[in-house]
Amino acid sequence: MYLQELWQQVLTLVSSEVPKNKLLTYFSRTAILELKDGIMKVGAPTPMAHAWIANKCFQTLVKFAQAAAPETREVTIEVDGALLNQDDLRAIDITQVVAQEKRVRKVRNLNEVTIKDVGGQLTNGAVNTARNGSNGSVSAHGSAYGGNASFVSHMLNQKYSLNNFVVGKDNRLAHAACIAISRRPGSEYNPLFIYGGVGLGKTHLLQATGNEILKNHPDALVVYLTAERFLNEVVAAIKRGDTASLRNRYRKVDCLIIDDIQFFTRGERTQEEFFHTFNDLFDAQKQIIVSSDCPPRELDGMEDRLKSRFGSGMVVEVYPPDFETRLAILQQKCQQQSVILPPEIIECLAKNGLQSVRELEGFLTRILAGMKLTKMMPTIRTVAQMIKSQNGGSQVNGVSEEELQRVMKIRSGDDMITLVSRYYQIPIETLTGASRKKEILLPRQLCMYLMYEVLKYSYGTIGDYFHGRNHTTVLHAHHKIEGLLMQDQKIASDTLTLKREIGL
């Protein structure tokens, strides 16, 4: 999921330099196969795409790969034929990138803040972040900010906002602090230290706060980076013997956001540099926000003076969400993607995704991907199976063994008609008859849909059960219900209950 998002970001940037038709032709169904130890392995579905990307657009790709994922030192491309399969979920839908391009670029201009540095030129965008990659070599080595390059703030992911962060009692305090900071950065809650387990929304809050500050103060220079990235920069600056200019750059920042600060414990010099920057910014009343997987006092290997600096501001913990918050998060994510899932299914997910929001999102992504592929609403049983496969086969909360063991009870078209007729309390004659009243028509269409999907009858055969209606009528009914399942809560719920009755 993360790699796909990253790839989408990279290609959105690439689309600023590569014509749309080329993008559609050569980047269709490509993917990042792996990003490990600074090496980004890109997959192309065909040798033709591979050749074009490698020969015509490699430098552009490297440049933007580094901009989007600063830890990238090297980019490699290989052919992976499996990407052509429509159900290979690693591959990207390039049409979405092209469609998105305009919107994203607009936003980018707003958020890309650049400042002049000694000897530097005003540059726009993250374009200068991979200067070492432009000498024709295949790898892209080097740090993001080479020599006297201008300082470009890092694009914050637009997906994260304080509005789309679901607030529950587990994260209310952290959210409130972020709201306050976004209005008046640097004035209170400084530094803000957010800590908690993985997948609980720390990165979301940090990036959202950065986005919000930029919205409220478009001239502010907001820099978000992971501690790991900061570490790399410091190491590169030390190698160049030029930590002073690094320090100078950071001094100009209005809001410095550092994610996953527990990584600092690895390098003493990083801590030293950070401490200086921290003090400079703090004295100038600039905002500092950091996140960590543990409270300041437990940051082993972190210098005491840094720990106490962190502890001197606002320290808040985010906790795993409770059931209500989990429900609200799932509902919001469905809404965001304009899909409807029956309440039973949402509840089932909320009862099982106990670890983190990321786990919940993972469940949802898998279900939605399945729905896209099969064009079918999942049943409780398929959802339970999915959860089981994710959690290593342990018990699925809220679904009984008996439910999982059910066998299909419906064997014929007549069985199906009887079931639907009973469920909606419509006499069989009326259900199969000529009435076009909505309260009859919809159940009839749903019945046809189920006969098609569950019993695998042909449209013609189904028509015969309904007084010889012709197959286009049945086809229409099928498509209609398919569409409604994604939009209409009642139809989605009814279908789920009926499938449950059927034993699916």
Choose, by CB under 5 A, the member of 203, 211, 325, 421 that binds Mg ion. 203
- Cβ-proximal residue to ligand ADP, closest one: 201
178 vs 477, beta carbon nearer Mg ion: 178
181 vs 205, beta carbon nearer Mg ion: 205
63 vs 204, beta carbon nearer ligand ADP: 204
* CA pair distance 288, 307, nearest whole angstrom: 14
How many helices (H) and strands (E) in the chain?
Answer: 22, 10
With CB under 5 A as the rule, give the number of residues binding Mg ion: 2
Three-class DSSP category at 44: strand
Which position has the token pair 């306050």?
Answer: 180
Which x/- pattern over 284-323 shows residues binding ligand ADP (rule: CB under 6 A)? ----------------------------------------
In angstroms, what is the minimal distance from the CB of 157 to Mg ion?
Answer: 11
For residue 7, count other CB atoms closer than 10 A to its CB: 26
In angstroms, what is the minimal distance from the CB of 166 to ligand ADP?
Answer: 4
How does 284-314 read in b/e, with b if 16+ C-beta sit within 10 Å? eebbbbbbbbebbeebeebbeebeebbeebb
Choose, by CB under 6 A, the member of 141, 247, 358, 471 that binds ligand ADP. 358
115 vs 334, beta carbon nearer ligand ADP: 334
Three-class DSSP category at 115: strand
Binding piece for ligand ADP, criterion CB under 6 A, among 29-37, 164-172, 469-477, 495-503: 164-172
- Cβ-proximal residue to Mg ion, closest one: 203
In angstroms, what is the minimal distance from the CB of 21 to ligand ADP?
Answer: 33
* CA pair distance 169, 222, nearest whole angstrom: 28
Using CA atoms, how far residue 232 sits from 81, 113, 130, 225, 279, in Å, is 35, 22, 14, 11, 20
329 binds, among ligand ADP, Mg ion, none (CB under 5 to 8 A by kind): ligand ADP
The answer to whether residue 198 forms part of the interface with ligand ADP (CB under 6 A) is yes
H-type helices in 406-458, by residue range? 413-424, 428-432, 438-453
Binding piece for ligand ADP, criterion CB under 6 A, among 123-131, 196-204, 262-270, 342-350: 196-204
In angstroms, what is the minimal distance from the CB of 208 to ligand ADP?
Answer: 9
- Give yes or no for a contact between 202 and 196, defined as CB atoms under 8 angstroms apart: yes
Question: HSE of 299 in the Cβ direction (CA atoms, 13 Å)?
Answer: 29
The answer to whether residue 58 forms part of the interface with ligand ADP (CB under 6 A) is no
Instruction: Give the interface with ligand ADP as residue ranges (CB under 6 A).
Output: 165-166, 171, 198-204, 329, 357-358, 361
